[in-house]
Structures are given as structure tokens and as C-alpha cells.
């Protein structure tokens, strides 16, 4: 018990230290970047007295350590500050933007896993065959073609030429303002509202960005699965299982895959974290109002509270998913448990 | 018997087929009473007209609020009456009386002189970024009660500190900072003595064509018809969607998912010129692109070098080859479309003349210099062309590209040598630019006022005196003459090489008519827009 408590305490303190480091780093970057946040707030043409007043109101006339301590104090009270751009508390903005990214990332990850893992296994089992080569080419393309290009081509083909997909945005204009935001996840909110037309519209709008993000992630997941599986298939326990006369399917999914699954946990956690971080380019091309777009817009306008707040959230996501992966690792791998 | 393979193929086809079914039903054309606009809504910070000072926000506010007067889009020397039916000045040109026309707020309440007085007083008391446009007439938080007065329900008087040209006052009153808000509604939403500022940042209380239904930052703005307002067309709503990527805007316009695209690139506009489904609405706006030569640099402080730079540039070549649809050659410090603007373009590329000026400056061998410029197109392409042009006369330019706010921050700290940047005019009067380019009384680093001229350490007592004389001239016609003379002199004798004026284009589907762009963003109007 004591050992477990110590381990938990060590993990927690490491998490806290990581977050503190992230806060200091982001805060400093925000303050030393060669853009005056006051100008971003009041405009380049604002008179000098207005600029001075705004600088004082934003606390930027204080020494840097005082500014940081003040920010840290706010943070400990759960206050991420107010966005200059939206005039909303940053926490409120994040609560609005993050669900859009969460919806996109989660759907993309599910699709990527459902396709990528079997594809990787298939390629490994048929290593060196035409199938393997074909899968490798598809994966290589997915990982090397820039996402913005895929997004634009997708819009051009499926939206513009074939007319089978909706355009950029999260929903059609006819549903604008008609769905109450309960969870912020539009597919769920439309279901809650009972408007199935809006639900179908939301699904249709998700399709393209989800497929593109899924393709990008799938390529990585399939490649890693293939590599792990090739290694696993070389194991003596696999040869033994085959010698015992077990079917190939049983050997692959019953014996080899559990080993691969352990390694895949980390890959999937990091892929999900990457997606949640905000697929900036995809969100930009598809006008998807998610965390990536919020972060970019804030950064471009030197609106630093949202930048620090969003970065912290991303940090928490990374740390959280890493922790989750560690826990899952322990559950799946008896060697780690022991 | 269904084989496993066929079962899997069938299973895989289900989502695709059901998606096709989704697609068939989900994408309807935009309704005829809703105008959908794709636009970059990326730097809007407030929709309070007495605070907001950015281009996109300015456009939204001018469609939600009315002012006493507005700039005449056809004749820049005049203003049109809006809430003010008529106006008159006393013999001294210090007391100005406005008789108000009938107008109604979105709430249904009539617009009164009390609302107008409250609105102007509010702008002065809040003293936000745009307040200087009207407080330059001597209004302060302490004296507004006595100097801005509603004498009866339909009469408003303004008393200025010093005798003022009525044209100057009227031009300034056409700015959004002079928008009239409904006193009762605003005060009902006051919090901690903020005069309703926090509420009005995200709500509206005006008498314009539309009222604010929703503003979702980084997502959309929805304007709803003000049934009591001046709009008489068939639109019930205007939805402005934040679409960052111009390519996405273009596709949405061509598909009919949006009716107007506002941020298309030069190449895209070129392609649309031959598209019969699209109408391009173009307007030169009050944004100038110019090179600033910092006078802190000994070489750049020589007047012959100012002139040499201006004679070395290939204005026409750059315009035709790099910015054919987005910029026009313009060399005056006042933008075309403004009262009294000089549209002469005396400088043409003349390398021999420029070289002779360099010799006269004692710099026959040229010199090395760094030029900062914005990283967004077309600035990098233009910067390269400028580099080549100046190279021909021996000025070896090293280019330094950065995000525009970085360049502006550096210029505000006088950290640049040369800078290629843009200047957007604040309000519809020649004084707006003349003040920032010509009036610099204190050139010290800790000066209280830091106009554009100060940023490049340029101080000319002659220009200061002339700009002040033009500003204070009471005869409107003579005032414009003074500004014209000042512009010509400034063109020749200043360390600023004004090169281009920006042209904005709104690409509208052909069933959309009457959308207007103004020289300032507050002139962008849906007042006469219809959708067939």
C-alpha cells in the first residue's frame, strides 16, 4: 500500500511539475515574442494614452515575475483569464471550441483504428506480397501527402465536382442557431434536440474532415501495427502455436495480437493526443471551429491568455493520455504488473 | 448462402450508401431571405461602436447603427444626412445645431436627441480607441454634459472648443464612434459603471438596417432584420461565416453555399472575371502600401535619398505583374475616394535620375540597408521587386520578413531601417492621414504622441504647421485646397514612398444585387442588398 501510494505521489508530482514547466515556458514565450499584445487589443492606430491605459489594465506594465505570479494565482483559482479577441473567459471559449475538436478527433481515431489495425496485421501476415506492398504505398501516401492538399482535393472532388459532400463548416446554414448547445458535440446535441435532419447534416459535414484525419492517422497506425506484428510473428510461442495445429486466424488474433496490442496502446494514445491538439490545417480548410483554429487565431492576434490556456489543456491531454496508456499497459502486460 | 467475403463487402458498403442518402437530403441551397457571406472574421474584438476600431467589426456595426450623417460614396466632398435631417453652424463656427429626422430603434422606440447626446457623451466618457476622432474637438469627460446637449426631443447642439470647419466636424461624425445607441437599453445593461460596454460588445441597441442576433467568435455573425429600420429589401438575415481559407471561400461561392465571398486572392478573382454566375463588386479602400525610411539612419535621412528611392521604383510594373486586381498605383498620403485627394502619380521609374540623386547625396557607391516587410502576400513578392529596383541604383536591400504585427511592433519601437507596410485611415477626413504623416511635434523617444511620422523619426515643422492650418481652416473649399497643396509637397519632400492603394473586391453570386463596399469599412453596406 505504502509502495503504491509512493508511486502515485511520484506520478502526480511529475505531472504537476510538467504542467508547471509548460505554464512557465508558454507564459514566457508569450511575453517575449516580438509582438505587442496591447496593439493587438486596441489596434495599431489607437492613441498613446489609450495604449498606456490598456497596458495597465492588462497588467503588462508590471515586471515579468509579478505578471507570472499573478497569472499563476489566477490559474490556481481555475481562472485562465479573458480573451482579448472574444471578450470571453478563456475557460468558456475552450469549453465551446474543444468539443468540436473532440468530436472530430474521436471519430477520426475510431475510423483509423478500425481500418488501420487490421490493415497492418494483414500486411504483416502477407509480408513481401503485392498486398503488403500496396498497403505500404497507401500508408506512405497517407503519411507524406500534406493534409491541406488532401483536404483541398477532397473538397474539390467530393464537394465541388461530384456534389456528394457538404462544404466547409460544421452545419448547414438552415440549422444555424437552431440547435441548443448541451454538450458542444453537435452530433449528440442534434440527437438530444430530436432534429434528425440536423443530425444527418452534422454527420455529413463531419465526413470529409474525419476521413482525412483518419487517413492520416490510419497510415501511421497501420505501419506501426505491421512492424509490431512482424516482430510478434517471429516469436517462438507463435511457432509453437502453429506446430500445435492452431488455425492462422487463431494464432494471429489469439496469440500474436495481444502482444502487439500492448505496444499499440502508446501509439494510439499519442495519435489521439495529436488529433485532440487540434488539426489546425484541417480545421482551417473545413472552417471547423475547433481548438486548433482558436489557438491559431489567438496566436496570430497575440492574444496570449487563450494561447497559454489552450497549451495547458493540450499539455493536460498529453499527460492524461500518457498516464492512461501507462495504466492500460499494466493491465495488458503481466510483466509490467509484476 | 452469403460468403464471408461478400458479407464483409456488403458491410463496408453500408456506411457509403447511407452517406450518399445523407448527402442527397442534407445540402439545400441557401434560402432567398438569408444572405450568406464567407469572410475572415479574425480580428474583431468588440461590437460596441464606441469601442470597436477594426475593419470587420466596423462593417458589422455600421449595418446595425445609424449616425447623424454618413459619407457620400459618390461625392467624397459631401456627407449625406441620416439621423440628422439638417444642420447649421453659428457665426463663430463653434456651436453646431442638428435637427433630427424620424428614426426608430430596433426596440421600436423613437431615436431622440437625448439618445444622440448620450451616445456622443458615452464615446467621450469611455475614451476607448476611436474616441480621439470626436474628442479632438475639445470634448472631455468633464465638459460633455455642457457641450453636447439635447435642447429638445429633436434638436442636438454641439459646442466645440475652437472654431471648426463644419465639414471637418461632419466628416468625423460620420465615423462609427458617433453611432447612436439607445440610451434606455444600454443603461439597463450597465454593469459596474461601464455604460453598458460589456453588454454592447456582444449585443446591439441601434437603429440600423439589422440587429445582432448572434456573434460566435471565430465561427459566425448573424444579423437579423431590424423591422423598424431603413432596410427595405427582401433579406431577413445576413449570416457571415468565418471561412479562413480563400480556396474554401471560392468553392463555396461557386457551389452557391455562400452568396458573397469577401477574401479571394488575386488569382481567384482573375478566374472569376469570366464566370457569368459571379459579379465582382470592387472599391478602392483607404489603405495605403508604402515604404518608410527611418530618419535615424544617416543615409536615409538625406532628402536626395528619399527622392532617389521614389524615382527608382517601377510602380506600374509591380502593379501589373504582382497586384493587378488588388492594388492601384497611388502616391499621395491621402487615399483616393477621400475629400480633396490628389491622384497625380508624378514618380515613374527613372534609374538615371535616381542615380544622379544618389551621387548628389554623396552616395554614388550606394549603401546596405535592411527592409522589414509583412510576410503575407503580396508583400514578399513586392519586397523582392523593390529590392531589385533599389539594387539598380546601388541600394543593397536585405529583406526581413515577419508577421505583420511583428513589423508594426518593431516600427512602433523605431527599430526598423526601411519598412514596407500598410496604413489604414481612421476616419473620413483628410486630417486623419495628414495628422499622422505630418504632425509630429515631439520627436523624442518618450514622446506622448507617437504618430506614423514619429515611428520613422520624421519631424517637419513646416508640414506640422501646414497640416494644422488645413485642419483649422473654416472655409470647406479652401480647406481642401490646402490639403491638396500639402499632399503634393509631402509626395516630394518626405521619407515615405507611397506606392499603392488597396482595392477590395466582394465576389457576389449573380442573384445578389446592391451590396456596397465603402472606402472605409464602415461604408460596406447591406442597406440596398437584395437576393433574387
What is the three-state SS of B19-80? HHHHHHHHCCCCCCCEEEEEECCCCCCCCCCCCCCCHHHHHHHHCCCCCCEEECCCCCCCEE
The yes-or-no verdict on residue B17 having pLDDT over 70 is no
Q: What is the pLDDT of residue B499?
A: 98
pLDDT band at B294 (very low <50, low <70, confident <90, very high): very high
Q: What residues does each domain of chain A span? A: 15-76, 91-337
**Residues A45, B424: C-beta atoms closer than 8 Å:** yes
Residues B316 and B383 in one domain: yes
The yes-or-no verdict on residue B25 having pLDDT over 60 is no
Query: Is 0.90 surpassed by the pTM of this model?
Result: no
Q: How many CB atoms lie within 10 A of CB B475?
A: 12
Q: Alpha helix locations (H) across B100-239? A: 113-126, 132-135, 144-147, 166-173, 183-188, 197-200
Rounded to an integer, what distance in angstroms lies between the CA atom of residue B122 and that of residue B50? Answer: 8
- Classify B530 as helix, strand or coil: strand
Residues B421 and B508 in one domain: no
Nearest in space to B372 (alpha carbons), one of B326, B331, B404, B333? B404
Rounded to an integer, what distance in angstroms lies between the CA atom of residue B411 and that of residue B290? Answer: 13
Half-sphere exposure of A245 (CA within 13 A, CB side): 0
**Residues B22, A43: C-beta atoms closer than 8 Å:** no
Count of domains forming chain B = 3
**Residues A204, B30: C-beta atoms closer than 8 Å:** no
Nearest in space to B452 (alpha carbons), one of A38, A33, A46, A55? A46
Q: Residue A143: is it exposed, middle or buried by C-beta count within 10 angstroms (0-12/13-18/19+)?
A: middle
Of B28, B213, B251, nearest to A156 by CB-CB distance is B251
Q: Does B320 touch chain A (CB under 8 A)?
A: no
pLDDT one-digit tens code per residue, A146-155: 888 889 999 9
pLDDT band at B279 (very low <50, low <70, confident <90, very high): very high
Residues B457 and B376 in one domain: yes
Residues B259 and B403 in one domain: no
* Neighbouring residues of B11: CB distance < 8 A, sequence distance ≥ 6: none
Cell matching residue B26: 442534407
Kindly identify which residue of chain A lies nearest to residue B450, measuring between CA atoms.
A48
Q: What is the pLDDT of residue B443?
A: 95
- Judging contacts by C-beta atoms under 8 Å, the chain A residues touching residue B409 are 34-36, 39
Q: Does B27 touch chain A (CB under 8 A)?
A: yes
pLDDT one-digit tens code per residue, B299-353: 999 999 999 999 999 999 999 999 999 999 999 999 999 999 999 999 999 999 9
Q: What is the pLDDT of residue B6?
A: 57
Q: Residue A253: is it exposed, middle or buried by C-beta count within 10 angstroms (0-12/13-18/19+)?
A: middle
The reply to whether B11 falls in a domain is: no
Q: Which of residues 249-308 of B touch A (CB under 8 A)?
A: 251-252, 254-255, 257
Q: How many CB atoms lie within 10 A of CB B142?
A: 10
**Residues B26, A86: C-beta atoms closer than 8 Å:** no
Per-residue pLDDT, averaged over B227-245, amounts to 94
Of B127, B219, B409, nearest to A35 by CB-CB distance is B409
Per-residue pLDDT, averaged over B39-55, amounts to 89
Kindly identify which residue of chain A lies nearest to residue B40, measuring between CA atoms.
A287
Q: Which residue has the higher pLDDT, A147 or A105?
A: A105
* Neighbouring residues of B29: CB distance < 8 A, sequence distance ≥ 6: B256
Residues B228 and B330 in one domain: no
Rounded to an integer, what distance in angstroms lies between the CA atom of residue B519 and that of residue B429? Answer: 12
The reply to whether B49 falls in a domain is: no
- H/E/C letters for each residue in A246-272? CCHHHHHHHHHHHHHHHHHHHHHHHHH
The yes-or-no verdict on residue B7 having pLDDT over 70 is no
Per-residue pLDDT, averaged over A285-312, amounts to 87
Q: CATH number for the domain including B152? A: 3.90.76.10
Q: What is the pLDDT of residue B5?
A: 53
Q: Alpha helix locations (H) across B394-448? A: 404-412, 430-438
- Classify B328 as helix, strand or coil: strand
Own/partner long-range contacts of B118-123 (Cβ < 8 Å, ≥24 apart):
B118/B181, B118/B183, B118/B186, B119/B50, B119/B178, B119/B179, B119/B180, B119/B181, B119/B183, B120/B144, B120/B148, B120/B158, B120/B178, B121/B145, B121/B148, B122/B50, B122/B181, B122/B186, B122/B195, B123/B50, B123/B177, B123/B178
**Residues A155, B410: C-beta atoms closer than 8 Å:** no
Range picked from A182-186, B98-102, B321-325 for highest mean pLDDT: B98-102
Kindly identify which residue of chain A lies nearest to residue B48, measuring between CA atoms.
A87
Residues B266 and B291 in one domain: no
Lowest-confidence region among A239-243, A275-279, B90-94, B171-175: A275-279
Cβ atoms of A185 and A171 closer than 8 Å = no
Q: How far is A166 from chain B (nearest CA, A)?
A: 6
**Residues B449, A48: C-beta atoms closer than 8 Å:** yes
Residues B452 and B307 in one domain: yes
Residues B352 and B376 in one domain: yes
Rounded to an integer, what distance in angstroms lies between the CA atom of residue B35 and that of residue B203? Answer: 20
pLDDT band at B13 (very low <50, low <70, confident <90, very high): low
Q: Which of residues 138-177 of B touch A (CB under 8 A)?
A: none
Range picked from A126-135, A162-171, B284-293 for highest mean pLDDT: B284-293
**Residues A289, B216: C-beta atoms closer than 8 Å:** yes
Per-residue pLDDT, averaged over A109-122, amounts to 94
Kindly identify which residue of chain B lies nearest to residue A295, measuring between CA atoms.
B218
The DSSP element (H or E) to which B293 belongs, if any, is strand B278-293
pLDDT band at A200 (very low <50, low <70, confident <90, very high): very high
Domain of residue B314: give its range.
284-503
Percent of chain A whose pLDDT exceeds 70: 97
- Judging contacts by C-beta atoms under 8 Å, the chain A residues touching residue B216 are 96, 289
pLDDT band at A93 (very low <50, low <70, confident <90, very high): very high
Nearest in space to A264 (alpha carbons), one of A73, A117, A115? A117
- Classify B157 as helix, strand or coil: strand
Q: How far is B257 from chain A (nearest CA, A)?
A: 7
pLDDT one-digit tens code per residue, B145-156: 999 999 999 999
Neighbouring-strand partners of residue B71: B79
Per-residue pLDDT, averaged over B371-394, amounts to 96
Residues B93 and B179 in one domain: yes
pLDDT band at A316 (very low <50, low <70, confident <90, very high): confident
Q: CATH number for the domain including B336? A: 3.10.105.10
Rounded to an integer, what distance in angstroms lies between the CA atom of residue A82 and that of residue A200? Answer: 35
Of A85, A173, A207, nearest to B239 by CB-CB distance is A173
The reply to whether B5 falls in a domain is: no
pLDDT band at A338 (very low <50, low <70, confident <90, very high): low
Compute φ and ψ for B377, nearest 5 degrees.
-65, 145
Rounded to an integer, what distance in angstroms lies between the CA atom of residue B332 and that of residue B489? Answer: 10
Angle, CA A120 vertex, CA A144 and CA A104 arms, to 5°: 60
- Judging contacts by C-beta atoms under 8 Å, the chain A residues touching residue B202 are 87
Per-residue pLDDT, averaged over A213-238, amounts to 92
Residues B337 and B413 in one domain: yes
Q: What is the pLDDT of residue B10?
A: 54
Of B27, B42, B245, nearest to A166 by CB-CB distance is B27
- Judging contacts by C-beta atoms under 8 Å, the chain B residues touching residue A84 are 45
Lowest-confidence region among B41-45, B305-309, B397-401, B524-528: B41-45
CB pairs below 8 Å between A and B: how many?
Answer: 157
- Classify B187 as helix, strand or coil: helix
Range picked from A292-301, B62-71, B75-84 for highest mean pLDDT: B62-71
A91-337 carries CATH number 1.10.3720.10? yes
Nearest in space to A292 (alpha carbons), one of A276, A305, A304? A276
Per-residue pLDDT, averaged over B221-233, amounts to 95
CA distances from A234 to A256, B79, B432 (A): 9, 85, 78
Cβ atoms of B69 and B269 closer than 8 Å = no
Range picked from A119-128, A226-235, B354-363 for highest mean pLDDT: B354-363
**Residues A174, B31: C-beta atoms closer than 8 Å:** yes
Cβ atoms of B157 and B96 closer than 8 Å = yes
Residues B467 and B398 in one domain: yes
Per-residue pLDDT, averaged over B418-438, amounts to 95
Cβ atoms of A299 and A37 closer than 8 Å = no
Rounded to an integer, what distance in angstroms lies between the CA atom of residue B421 and that of residue B480? Answer: 27
Q: How far is B219 from chain A (nearest CA, A)?
A: 6
**Residues B245, A168: C-beta atoms closer than 8 Å:** yes
Q: Does B104 touch chain A (CB under 8 A)?
A: no
Per-residue pLDDT, averaged over A138-162, amounts to 88
Q: How far is A229 from chain B (nearest CA, A)?
A: 23
Rounded to an integer, what distance in angstroms lies between the CA atom of residue A231 and that of residue A236? Answer: 11
Per-residue pLDDT, averaged over A195-208, amounts to 93
Q: End-to-end distance of chain A based on CA atoms, in angstroms?
A: 15
ipTM topping 0.85: no
The DSSP element (H or E) to which B380 belongs, if any, is helix B379-391
The yes-or-no verdict on residue A31 having pLDDT over 90 is no
pLDDT band at B26 (very low <50, low <70, confident <90, very high): very low
Residues B260 and B377 in one domain: no
Angle, CA A305 vertex, CA A302 and CA A309 arms, to 5°: 125
Q: Which residue has the higher pLDDT, A261 or A336?
A: A261
Q: Which of B15, B23, B36, B424 should one mutate to test binding to chain A, selecting the residue with the greatest count of A CBs within 10 A?
A: B23
Residue B234 DSSP one-character state: S
Q: Which residue has the higher pLDDT, A333 or B311?
A: B311
Q: What is the pLDDT of residue A85?
A: 83
Q: Which residue has the higher pLDDT, B7 or B427?
A: B427
Q: CATH number for the domain including B238? A: 3.40.190.10
Q: How far is A316 from chain B (nearest CA, A)?
A: 24
Nearest in space to B63 (alpha carbons), one of B77, B42, B49, B84? B49
Helices (H) and strands (E) in chain B, counts: 19, 19
| Mean pLDDT for chain A overall | 87
Rounded to an integer, what distance in angstroms lies between the CA atom of residue B339 and that of residue B349? Answer: 28
The yes-or-no verdict on residue A252 having pLDDT over 50 is yes
The yes-or-no verdict on residue B163 having pLDDT over 90 is yes
Rounded to an integer, what distance in angstroms lies between the CA atom of residue B470 and that of residue B466? Answer: 6
The yes-or-no verdict on residue B29 having pLDDT over 80 is no
Kindly identify which residue of chain A lies nearest to residue B436, measuring between CA atoms.
A45
Q: Which of A32, A40, A60, A87 should one mutate to test binding to chain B, selecting the residue with the greatest count of B CBs within 10 A?
A: A87
| Mode of pairing for the β-strands spanning B237-242 and B34-39 | parallel
pLDDT band at A278 (very low <50, low <70, confident <90, very high): low
| Mean pLDDT for chain B overall | 92
Kindly identify which residue of chain B lies nearest to residue A32, measuring between CA atoms.
B406
Q: How far is A61 from chain B (nearest CA, A)?
A: 15
Q: End-to-end distance of chain B based on CA atoms, in angstroms?
A: 57
The yes-or-no verdict on residue B189 having pLDDT over 70 is yes
* Neighbouring residues of A3: CB distance < 8 A, sequence distance ≥ 6: none
Q: What is the pLDDT of residue A36?
A: 80
Percent of chain B whose pLDDT exceeds 70: 95
* Neighbouring residues of B27: CB distance < 8 A, sequence distance ≥ 6: A163, A166, A172, A204, B257
- H/E/C letters for each residue in A270-297? HHHHHHHCCCHHHHHHCCCCCHHHHHHH
Q: Alpha helix locations (H) across chain A? A: 2-32, 37-42, 48-57, 64-76, 90-125, 130-144, 147-154, 186-193, 196-233, 236-243, 248-249, 257-276, 280-285, 291-300, 304-332, 334-337
Q: Does B127 touch chain A (CB under 8 A)?
A: yes
The yes-or-no verdict on residue B228 having pLDDT over 70 is yes
The yes-or-no verdict on residue B140 having pLDDT over 50 is yes
For B314-345, b/e burial (b = at least 16 CB within 10 A) is bbeebbeebbebbbbbbbbbbbbbbbbbbeeb
Q: Which of A30, A31, A35, A122 should one mutate to test binding to chain B, selecting the residue with the greatest count of B CBs within 10 A?
A: A35
The yes-or-no verdict on residue B23 having pLDDT over 70 is no
Amino acid at each position: 500500500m505504502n509502495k503504491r501510494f509512493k508511486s502515485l505521489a511520484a506520478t502526480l508530482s511529475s505531472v504537476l511539475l510538467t504542467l508547471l514547466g509548460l505554464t512557465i515556458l508558454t507564459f514566457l514565450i508569450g511575453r517575449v515574442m516580438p509582438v505587442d499584445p496591447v496593439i493587438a487589443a486596441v489596434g495599431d492606430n489607437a492613441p498613446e494614452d489609450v495604449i498606456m491605459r490598456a497596458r495597465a489594465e492588462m497588467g503588462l506594465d508590471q515586471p515579468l515575475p509579478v505578471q507570472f505570479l499573478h497569472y499563476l494565482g489566477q490559474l490556481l483559482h481555475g481562472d485562465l483569464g479573458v480573451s482579448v479577441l472574444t471578450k470571453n473567459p478563456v475557460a468558456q471559449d475552450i469549453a465551446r471550441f474543444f468539443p468540436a475538436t473532440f468530436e472530430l478527433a474521436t471519430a477520426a481515431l475510431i475510423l483509423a483504428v478500425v481500418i488501420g489495425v487490421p490493415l497492418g496485421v494483414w500486411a504483416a501476415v502477407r509480408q513481401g506480397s503485392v498486398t503488403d506492398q500496396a498497403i505500404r504505398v497507401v500508408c506512405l501516401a497517407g503519411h507524406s501527402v500534406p493534409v491541406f492538399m488532401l483536404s483541398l482535393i477532397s473538397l474539390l472532388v467530393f464537394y465541388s465536382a461530384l456534389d456528394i459532400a457538404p462544404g466547409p463548416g460544421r452545419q448547414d446554414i438552415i440549422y444555424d442557431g437552431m440547435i441548443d448547445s448541451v454538450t458542444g458535440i453537435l452530433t449528440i446535441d442534434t440527437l438530444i434536440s430530436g432534429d434528425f435532419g440536423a443530425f444527418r447534416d452534422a454527420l455529413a459535414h463531419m465526413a470529409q474532415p474525419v476521413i482525412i484525419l483518419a487517413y492520416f492517422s490510419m497510415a501511421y497506425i497501420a505501419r506501426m501495427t505491421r512492424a509490431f506484428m512482424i516482430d510478434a510473428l517471429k516469436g517462438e510461442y507463435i511457432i509453437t502455436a502453429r506446430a500445435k495445429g492452431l488455425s492462422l486466424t487463431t494464432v494471429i488474433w489469439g496469440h500474436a495480437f495481444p502482444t502487439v496490442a500492448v505496444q499499440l496502446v502508446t501509439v494510439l494514445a499519442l495519435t489521439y493526443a495529436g488529433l485532440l491538439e487540434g488539426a489546425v490545417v484541417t480545421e482551417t480548410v473545413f472552417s471547423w471551429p475547433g481548438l486548433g483554429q482558436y489557438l491559431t487565431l489567438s496566436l496570430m492576434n497575440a492574444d496570449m491568455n487563450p494561447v497559454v490556456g489552450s497549451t495547458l489543456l493540450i499539455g493536460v491531454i498529453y499527460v492524461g493520455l500518457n498516464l492512461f496508456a501507462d495504466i492500460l499497459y499494466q493491465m495488458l502486460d503481466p510483466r509490467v504488473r509484476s | 448462402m452469403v460468403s464471408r467475403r461478400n458479407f464483409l463487402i456488403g458491410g463496408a458498403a453500408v456506411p457509403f450508401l447511407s452517406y450518399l442518402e445523407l448527402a442527397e437530403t442534407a445540402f439545400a441551397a441557401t434560402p432567398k431571405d438569408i444572405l450568406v457571406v464567407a469572410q475572415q472574421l479574425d480580428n474583431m474584438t468588440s461590437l460596441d461602436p464606441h469601442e470597436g476600431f477594426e475593419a470587420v467589426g466596423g462593417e458589422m456595426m455600421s449595418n446595425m447603427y445609424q449616425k447623424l450623417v454618413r459619407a457620400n460614396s459618390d461625392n467624397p466632398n459631401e456627407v449625406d444626412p441620416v439621423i440628422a435631417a439638417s444642420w447649421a453652424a453659428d457665426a463663430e463656427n463653434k456651436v453646431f445645431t442638428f435637427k433630427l429626422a424620424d428614426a426608430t430603434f430596433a426596440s421600436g422606440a423613437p431615436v431622440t436627441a437625448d439618445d444622440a447626446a448620450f451616445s456622443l457623451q458615452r464615446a467621450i466618457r469611455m475614451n476607448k480607441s476611436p474616441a480621439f476622432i470626436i474628442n479632438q474637438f475639445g470634448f472631455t469627460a468633464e465638459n460633455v454634459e455642457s457641450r453636447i446637449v439635447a435642447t429638445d426631443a429633436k434638436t442636438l447642439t454641439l459646442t466645440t472648443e475652437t472654431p471648426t470647419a463644419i465639414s471637418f466636424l461632419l466628416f468625423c461624425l460620420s465615423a462609427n464612434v458617433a453611432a447612436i445607441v439607445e440610451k434606455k437599453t444600454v443603461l439597463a445593461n450597465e454593469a459596474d459603471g461601464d455604460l453598458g460596454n460589456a453588454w454592447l460588445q456582444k449585443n446591439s441597441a441601434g437603429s440600423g438596417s439589422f440587429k445582432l442576433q448572434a456573434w460566435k467568435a471565430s465561427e459566425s455573425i448573424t444579423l437579423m432584420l431590424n423591422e423598424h429600420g431603413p432596410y427595405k429589401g427582401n433579406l431577413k438575415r445576413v449570416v457571415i461565416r468565418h471561412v479562413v481559407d480563400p480556396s474554401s471561400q471560392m468553392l463555396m461561392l461557386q457551389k452557391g453555399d455562400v452568396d458573397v465571398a469577401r477574401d479571394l486572392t488575386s488569382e481567384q478573382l482573375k478566374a472569376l472575371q469570366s464566370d457569368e454566375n459571379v459579379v465582382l463588386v470592387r472599391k478602392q479602400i483607404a489603405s495605403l502600401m508604402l515604404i518608410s525610411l527611418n530618419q535615424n539612419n544617416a543615409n536615409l535621412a538625406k532628402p536626395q535619398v528619399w527622392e532617389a528611392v521614389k524615382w527608382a521604383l517601377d510602380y506600374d510594373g509591380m502593379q501589373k505583374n504582382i497586384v493587378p486586381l488588388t492594388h492601384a498605383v497611388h502616391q499621395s498620403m491621402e487615399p483616393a475616394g477621400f475629400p480633396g485627394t490628389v491622384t497625380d502619380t508624378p514618380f515613374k521609374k527613372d534609374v538615371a535620375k535616381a542615380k544622379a540623386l544618389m551621387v548628389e547625396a554623396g552616395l554614388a557607391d550606394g549603401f546596405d540597408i535592411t527592409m522589414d516587410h509583412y510576410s503575407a502576400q503580396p508583400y514578399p513578392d513586392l519586397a523582392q521587386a523593390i529590392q531589385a529596383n533599389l539594387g539598380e541604383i546601388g541600394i543593397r536591400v536585405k529583406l526581413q520578413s515577419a508577421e505583420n504585427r511583428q513589423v508594426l511592433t518593431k516600427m512602433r519601437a523605431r527599430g526598423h531601417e526601411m519598412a514596407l507596410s500598410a496604413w489604414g485611415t481612421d476616419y473620413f477626413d483628410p486630417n486623419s492621414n495628414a495628422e499622422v504623416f505630418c504632425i509630429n511635434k515631439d520627436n523624442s523617444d518618450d514622446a506622448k504622441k507617437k504618430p506614423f511620422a514619429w515611428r520613422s523619426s520624421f519631424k517637419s515643422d513646416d508640414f506640422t504647421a501646414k497640416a494644422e492650418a488645413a485642419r483649422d481652416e473654416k472655409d470647406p473649399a479652401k480647406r481642401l485646397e490646402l490639403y491638396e497643396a500639402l499632399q503634393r509637397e509631402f509626395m516630394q519632400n518626405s521619407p515615405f514612398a507611397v506606392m499603392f492603394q488597396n482595392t477590395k473586391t466582394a465576389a457576389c453570386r449573380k442573384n445578389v444585387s446592391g451590396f456596397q463596399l465603402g472606402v472605409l469599412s464602415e461604408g460596406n453596406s447591406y442597406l440596398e442588398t437584395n437576393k433574387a
